[in-house]
């Protein structure tokens, strides 16, 4: 595969998936609000990695009975190891080397005058009439818990107003109306930093969201890379050819020329608005938060566009797979560049990789002090990396948690060899979500390595679609004659004590196609950003006064 011509667009990649028997076309009518994602979710609970497929839904409707042009792709970027490797045009064994090669030899994108994404353009007076975000069959990812359709495979492109440096990140976006969408980036994240710097200047942040790019661009947008690295140049390195870009129509940004859909707009810096809940890959529904909002100014798309949706929620998922395939290699490269040539391999468990808490390092140590220095370096890679880090000798298979556990029990004296590192930030865990809630007995700091993982608070729901939707998905699965399922528990979402009636009602409205009613309601939650306030400080202030209601 390594010598094949690079993909020009997503459609060429889908043809390869179909030839390889990795694409299922669903021609029957499927409801994007209640049926679509639950159907695909079943394979992550009931099939082996090698048996999973990409799903292309060609007859999409919603709870209001509306039919959509185009199609919806789920699992098509990284539904399995095989799908990811076809996207990267290499074998599984070659993936780490391809990432290292791309990091060492990025290929800058090239600007062209025109591209397929410009086949249809809606802006100015035509924008509202085109129906904006609502023109596209954006699925509800976790019916029963999510409060609207979310953009999940949108690659958000912004530029630093100080340096002009570009960033491409994959963030979730709650569609609140045809012309409004949430912009949920964490702190720290590059989009949030760009927003803060624009706010200091009293200007909005220009943004473009690209959906349905060549696979390499999606693989870099979803990965945590060094801050000085242009994700589109890294994508060029992965694809071994420049990513072609075209200029946006209404903002000073460039976007992939062969993308299926591009949204252009601004993110105002003078107000924030409530957003969420959304079922995240840490295994819980992320409840309400507060964040910026994108206001749409233009839509460009191909004819009969393919909408791409990444399936997240409880791991394993497409979200965990797309990060797992590159994350371990990036941390390994980081450690080697920090001077630890003794590190031979890094393993980050896919079932946990979205949180990055479990890191196993295989090394040929030079002395007894080096493992501790290596583990300290892992903690420096990023705020969310390393809640449990294990260093093992080179004879231990770090890809086998049983082997690592064996090394811990037979090669470790806890009173000498275990260290708890205090004052660590919370990662994307339910503890951080509920620490300020009255039900919580957690304190307000986190630590690394040894953590009591028993439940100590009422928690949000398990982030899978509610049982009725999954039961309906099972019926659809059988009707379609798909492979026999061996479902693993849990295979549906359920309550764990922390789910207000307000959020239950919003999820019901969303599943019935009335997400705009939720969006209209959330307009009433806007708060003005005061002088000297930051996105982080606003969220902290909001959390103190809304914690009981928000979660």
403 burial via Cβ count (<10 Å: 0-12, 13-18, 19+): middle
User: Does residue 551 register a pLDDT over 50?
Assistant: no
Mean of per-residue pLDDT scores for the chain: 89
Q: How far apart are CA 210 and CA 218, in angstroms?
A: 10
**Residues forming beta bridges with residue 409, ordered by sequence position:** none
Give pLDDT tens digits for 359-418. 889 989 889 889 888 988 988 887 678 888 889 888 888 888 888 888 888 788 888 888
State phi, psi for 496 to the nearest 5 degrees.
-135, 35
- Please choose, from the candidates 362, 373, 429, the residue with its C-alpha nearest in 3D space to the C-alpha of residue 400: 362
User: Does residue 353 register a pLDDT over 60?
Assistant: no
Question: What's the pTM value of the predicted model, to 2 decimals?
Answer: 0.81
At 214, list the tokens.
């060549």
Give pLDDT tens digits for 130-160. 999 999 999 999 999 999 999 999 999 999 9
Q: Which residue matches tokens 């020009």?
A: 8
CA 453 distance to own-chain centroid: 24
pLDDT at 318: 83
Q: How confident is the model at residue 108 (pLDDT cuts 50, 70, 90)?
A: very high
CA 167 distance to own-chain centroid: 15
The percentage of the chain sitting over the pLDDT mark of 90, rounded to a whole number, equals 61
User: Does residue 278 sit in helix, strand or coil?
Assistant: strand
- Please choose, from the candidates 26, 218, 227, the residue with its C-alpha nearest in 3D space to the C-alpha of residue 137: 26
Beta strands in 314-432, from DSSP E residues, in sequence order: 343-347, 358-363, 388-393, 421-424
CB 220 within 8 A of CB 233: no
Pick the residue with more confidence: 3 or 53?
Answer: 53
User: Does residue 425 register a pLDDT over 90?
Assistant: no
Give pLDDT tens digits for 462-496. 788 999 999 999 999 999 999 999 887 678 888 87
């Amino acid at each position: 595969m390594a010598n094949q011509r690079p993909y020009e667009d997503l459609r060429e990649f889908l043809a390869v998936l179909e030839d390889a028997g990795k694409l299922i076309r669903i021609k029957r009518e499927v409801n994007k609000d209640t049926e679509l994602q639950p159907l695909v979710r079943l394979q992550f609970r009931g099939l082996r990695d090698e048996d999973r497929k990409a799903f292309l839904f060609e007859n999409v409707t919603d709870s209001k009975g509306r039919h959509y042009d185009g199609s919806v792709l789920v699992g098509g970027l990284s539904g399995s190891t095989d799908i990811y490797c076809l996207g990267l045009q290499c074998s599984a064994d070659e993936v780490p080397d391809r990432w290292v090669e791309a990091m060492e030899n990025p290929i800058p994108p090239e600007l062209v005058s025109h591209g397929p994404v410009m086949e249809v353009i809606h802006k100015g007076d035509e924008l509202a009439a085109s129906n904006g975000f609502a023109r596209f069959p954006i699925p509800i990812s976790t019916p029963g818990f999510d409060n609207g359709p979310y953009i999940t495979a949108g690659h958000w492109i912004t530029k630093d107003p100080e340096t002009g440096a570009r960033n491409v990140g994959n963030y979730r976006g709650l569609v609140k109306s045809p012309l409004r969408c949430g912009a949920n980036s964490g702190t720290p994240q590059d989009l949030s930093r760009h927003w803060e710097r624009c706010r200091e200047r009293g200007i909005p942040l220009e943004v473009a969201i690209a959906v349905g790019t060549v696979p390499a661009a999606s693989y870099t947008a979803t990965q945590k890379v060094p801050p000085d690295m242009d994700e589109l140049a890294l994508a060029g390195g992965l694809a071994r050819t420049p990513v072609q870009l075209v200029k946006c129509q209404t903002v000073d940004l460039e976007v992939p020329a062969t993308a299926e859909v591009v949204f252009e707009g601004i993110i105002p810096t003078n107000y924030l608005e409530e957003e969420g809940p959304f079922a995240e890959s840490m295994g819980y529904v992320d409840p309400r938060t507060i964040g910026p909002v994108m206001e749409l100014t233009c839509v460009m798309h191909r004819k009969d566009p393919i909408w791409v949706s990444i399936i997240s929620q409880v791991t394993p998922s497409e979200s965990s797979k797309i990060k797992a395939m590159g994350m371990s290699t990036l941390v390994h490269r980081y450690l080697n560049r920090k001077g630890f040539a003794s590190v031979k391999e890094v393993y980050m468990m896919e079932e946990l990789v979205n949180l990055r808490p479990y890191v196993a390092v295989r090394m040929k140590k030079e002395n007894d002090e080096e493992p501790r220095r290596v583990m300290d370096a892992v903690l420096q890679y990023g705020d969310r990396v390393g809640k449990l880090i294990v260093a093992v000798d080179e004879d231990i298979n770090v890809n086998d948690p049983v082997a690592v556990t064996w090394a811990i029990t037979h090669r470790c004296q806890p009173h000498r060899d275990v260290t708890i590192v205090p004052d660590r930030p919370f990662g994307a865990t339910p503890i951080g979500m509920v620490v300020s809630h009255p039900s919580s007995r957690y304190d307000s700091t986190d630590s690394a390595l040894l953590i009591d993982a028993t439940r100590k608070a009422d928690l949000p729901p398990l982030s899978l679609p509610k049982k009725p939707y999954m039961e309906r998905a099972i019926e659809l699965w059988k009707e379609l004659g798909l492979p026999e399922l061996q479902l693993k528990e849990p295979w549906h979402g359920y309550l764990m004590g922390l789910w207000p009636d307000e959020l239950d009602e919003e999820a019901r409205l969303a599943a019935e196609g009335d997400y705009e009613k939720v969006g209209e309601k959330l307009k009433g939650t806007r708060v003005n950003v005061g002088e000297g306030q930051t996105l982080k400080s606003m969220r902290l202030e909001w959390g103190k006064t809304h914690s009981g209601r928000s979660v």
